[in-house]
Amino acid sequence: MAAIGNRTTARFNAHAARALESSVLQQAIRRRQDSRQELQTRAAEELPDWEVWKDSVEAVRTHTIAHLDHYLGQFADAVERRGGHVFFAANADEAREHVAQLAREKNAKLIVKSKSMLSEEIGLNGALQASGAEVVETDLGEFIIQLAHETPFHILGPASHKKLEEIRDLFETLSGEELACEPRALAAFARQYLREKFLAADMGITGCNFGVASEGSVVLVTNEGNGRMTSSLPRTHVVLMGMERLVPDLQSLEPMLTVLPRSANGVRSTVYVSIINGPRQHGDLDGPEDLHVIVVDNGRSQILGGDYRDILNCIRCGACLDNCPVYRHIGGHAYGPVYSGPIGAVLTPLLQGLEAQHHLPFACSLCGACGDVCSARVPLPDFLLSLRNDSVQKGLGKLSWQAGFRGFSEATTRPRFWELCLRSARLGLWPWARRGAVRNGPGPLRGWTRSRDLPALAARSFRRTWREDGDSPSEGGS
Amino acid sequence: MKREVFLQKVRQQLGRVADSPVATPPRFRVEARPFSVDPDSLQQLFLDRQSQLDVAVTLACSRSDAQMAVEELLKERKWRISCALDVRWAGIAGCWTDSAAEADFGLCVAEWAIAETGSVVLVLAGTHTRGASLLPPAVGFFVAKSRLVARLGDVLHFLDADGGLPACVTMVTGPSASADIVGVRTVGVHGPSQVRVYIIENE
């Protein structure tokens, strides 16, 4: 596990460094964050009692999670009553294998998918492709990164880092034709290419924004229409649902569907909201013949019983990413292949184990912006701090880091030794100190001082000043 | 994994040994609205929203006026039409196709319209197909003025009270859109790029 932790930390550092050095990525991230922040603020301001709506989201989510066993049972009964099927998957392996088994049973050669972070989490595409099916991502952003063999850069804007020319090149390679380097022309090509896939697909796989326990409904919130196509046109519809996605009843949907689009895209409603209640009924002229809902645990029940339960309240609006100063600099890929930004920095260590992802909670300036904008009032800053504490308690992280803090602790509790350290440091850092700051410092200071200033130690320490001048009134001090 | 084993694990984590009764879910019905809710005010708000969404709106006195407006549009554009209507609406003159995927224009009857968001609500069952509102590049929705409601919660309340949900209920708010290519909004990525709403006064 320690080896995995070191690998993921190295991967994080490499991706973060790449993002910081790329002016193209920096521009793309800022473009997205600036536009989203403006839209989100405007949408929230337009709605009276915005904070009350968020209170409502928090209350409904907290209530649901506290009675999740009850609502999961109710949901499964209702889905089956409407003619659908429910499979409970304890982990990613079970979920992948069940969907692959369904694909084999249905002889599905072509599978279309709409965006689902859970499918990324369980690594579904690889399993389906291994079983011989062609899997096509149909969300425009997911389609782009599938062609580029990349992972999502943002939970809502998976291709927000791609340049126009890169997208044009990917589409040209696919089509074998020359395409105009213009968003509308490229979107038109995607429409035409994917339309043929939708009409020929044997199976459609979607995620699930919310499951309605009392009705067995699956709610999909989308803008492009690919979610509707995926859930309507193929004869089999498979839904991947994290087990925490439920709300108790239809009326509980109102706060979710009021807050989610405003927090996610700064709009009053997404273009499409579909409430799917089972497969097509007798007399329906279209819709899937079969509906299968896969309810996935994959580490969630472990979170349920611990101190971080409220993270399961998250409704995946992505506002924490759009307001995070760290995400603004390092982008999405540093956090790993699935969940990025503050939600990723909390959720990924909880799902995969802190040992493997102990660096993520440290990817945070503790500014608190994520907590302020969170649709469900998840205390993300508190969780990040608490995970750091867990990490230290478990003795995770670099040995040099731990040794450094142990040394700091020893030094600060011994006044004479501390004084000696300060004097030595003042002397030792003198060659690197310029105009009151240490720049490009030596050894362990290099990481910090390469891109930031470290204030140089004052010529006379506070303790010495206090000792020598303590009784004199200060000039202009308060 | 067996359902009971799965649920038992969840129960254990929640500190319970068996399913227990659950109180009514929390309700925060927010009553304050920044607009009046009389029918004319709702219609005006809905019209404002459609204008912001680039949706063309036709105000028709009656169902036959709305049908005539559609016929004129089909004639002018030489569009093939596919329909998600029940037999009451089948009298529209035009070039018909049974395949929504081949149609230029899809026509649907909306059960409700939501003023606050500018959405139309489709109850998709029987002959009210999903394809007609999704596959053609242009789509039109008939909605009665009397079916205009203030906000989403009203629709959810009606659906809840009705019982017997259809296989699919869909809310549509403007044309299909995406900003996945360098943040530039493009319409008609998968669904219709043109949306028209026909509000019928006396329905």
Q: pLDDT tens digit string along B152-201? A: 999 999 999 887 899 999 999 999 999 999 999 999 999 999 999 999 99
Which pLDDT value is given to residue A115? 93
Q: Is A277 in Cβ contact with B169 (below 8 Å)? A: yes
pLDDT at position A298 over 50: yes
Q: What is the mean pLDDT of residues A72-86?
A: 98
At residue B95 the predicted structure's pLDDT band, cuts being 50, 70 and 90, is confident
Q: What is the mean pLDDT of residues A190-212?
A: 98
Which pLDDT value is given to residue A476? 42
Q: Which chain B residues are closer than 8 Å to A270 by Cβ?
A: 173
The better pLDDT of the pair B108, B30 is held by B108
Give the single-character DSSP code of B202: T
Report the candidate in A36, A50, A43, A44 with the shortest Cα–Cα distance to residue A327. Answer: A36
**Which are the contacts of A187, defined by CB distance < 8 A and separation ≥ 6?**
A140, B178, B181, B186, B188, B189
pLDDT at position B83 over 90: no
Query: Is A29's Cβ below 8 Å from some Cβ in B?
Result: no
B102: how many CB neighbours lie within 10 A of its CB? 11
Query: Is A235's Cβ below 8 Å from some Cβ in B?
Result: no
Would you say A103 and A135 are in contact if contact means Cβ atoms under 8 Å apart? no
Q: Which chain A residues are closer than 8 Å to B33 by Cβ?
A: 48
At residue B90 the predicted structure's pLDDT band, cuts being 50, 70 and 90, is low
Query: Is B154's Cβ below 8 Å from some Cβ in A?
Result: no
What tokens were used for B143? 């909605």
pLDDT at position A475 over 70: no
Distances (CA, A) of A213 to A69, A210, A277, B16, B169: 11, 9, 11, 20, 16
What are the E-state strand segments in A223-365? 236-242, 246-247, 272-276, 290-296
| CA B174 – CA B194 distance, rounded (Å) | 8
Which pLDDT value is given to residue A442? 82
Would you say B133 and B139 are in contact if contact means Cβ atoms under 8 Å apart? yes
At residue A471 the predicted structure's pLDDT band, cuts being 50, 70 and 90, is low
Would you say A25 and A19 are in contact if contact means Cβ atoms under 8 Å apart? yes
How close is the nearest chain A Cα to the Cα of B111, in Å?
14
The 10s digit of each residue's pLDDT in A216-257 is 999 999 999 999 999 999 999 999 999 999 999 999 999 999
List b or e across A227-239, with b for residues whose CB sees 16 or more CB atoms inside 10 angstroms: bbbbbbbbbbbbb
Which pLDDT value is given to residue A326? 97
Would you say A56 and B26 are in contact if contact means Cβ atoms under 8 Å apart? yes
How close is the nearest chain B Cα to the Cα of A293, in Å?
13
Q: CA torsion sign, A437 to A440 to A443 to A445?
A: positive
Q: What is the pTM of this model?
A: 0.92
How close is the nearest chain A Cα to the Cα of B27, in Å?
7
Complete DSSP assignment for A142-185? HHHHHHTT---SSSS-TTTT--HHHHHHHHHHHHSS---SSHHH
Q: How many residues does chain A have?
A: 478
**Which are the contacts of A278, defined by CB distance < 8 A and separation ≥ 6?**
A79, A82, A83, A84, A216, A291, B167
Would you say A329 and A12 are in contact if contact means Cβ atoms under 8 Å apart? no
Contacts 24+ apart (CB under 8 A), A126-133: A127/A96, A127/A97, A127/A99, A127/A100, A128/A99, A128/A100, A128/A103, A130/A100, A131/A100, A131/A103, A131/A104, A133/A103, A133/A108, A133/A109, A133/A203
Q: What is the mean pLDDT of residues A327-355?
A: 95
Which pLDDT value is given to residue A401? 76
Query: Is A61's Cβ below 8 Å from some Cβ in B?
Result: no
Q: What is the mean pLDDT of residues A87-92?
A: 98
| CA B134 – CA B84 distance, rounded (Å) | 11
pLDDT at position B1 over 90: no
The three-state secondary structure class of B188 is: coil
Q: What is the mean pLDDT of residues B6-26?
A: 92
**Which residue from A139, A229, A253 is facing B134, i.e. has the nearest CB?**
A229
Q: Is A215 in Cβ contact with B14 (below 8 Å)? A: no
Q: What is the mean pLDDT of residues A387-409?
A: 86
Q: Which chain A residues are closer than 8 Å to B156 by Cβ?
A: 250-251, 253-254
Which pLDDT value is given to residue A108? 97
The better pLDDT of the pair B172, A409 is held by B172
Which of A136, A271, A295 is most worth mutating to test chain B (most B CB atoms within 10 A of its CB)?
A271
pLDDT at position B81 over 90: no
The position carrying tokens 């694990």 is B9
The better pLDDT of the pair A323, B127 is held by A323
The dihedral region occupied by A216, where left means phi > 0, alpha psi between -120 and 50, and beta the remainder, is left
pLDDT at position A473 over 60: no
How close is the nearest chain B Cα to the Cα of A132, in Å?
25
Report the candidate in A167, A101, A367, A291 with the shortest Cα–Cα distance to residue B178. Answer: A167
Q: CA torsion sign, A64 to A67 to A70 to A72?
A: positive
Which pLDDT value is given to residue A444? 76
pLDDT at position A285 over 50: yes
Which one-letter amino acid corresponds to residue A37? Q
Report the candidate in A336, A333, A389 with the shortest Cα–Cα distance to residue A361. Answer: A389
Q: What is the mean pLDDT of residues B88-109?
A: 84
**Which residue from B114, B116, B157 is facing A251, i.e. has the nearest CB?**
B157
Q: Which chain A residues are closer than 8 Å to B190 by Cβ?
A: 138, 191, 194-195, 198, 224-226, 228-229
In this prediction the ipTM stands at 0.95
pLDDT at position A71 over 50: yes
Report the candidate in B33, B16, B3, B28 with the shortest Cα–Cα distance to residue B151. Answer: B33
Average pLDDT taken over every residue of chain A: 93
| CA A360 – CA A9 distance, rounded (Å) | 8
Number of A–B residue contacts, CB under 8 Å: 250
| CA A219 – CA A215 distance, rounded (Å) | 11
| CA B56 – CA B202 distance, rounded (Å) | 20
What tokens were used for B145? 């003025």
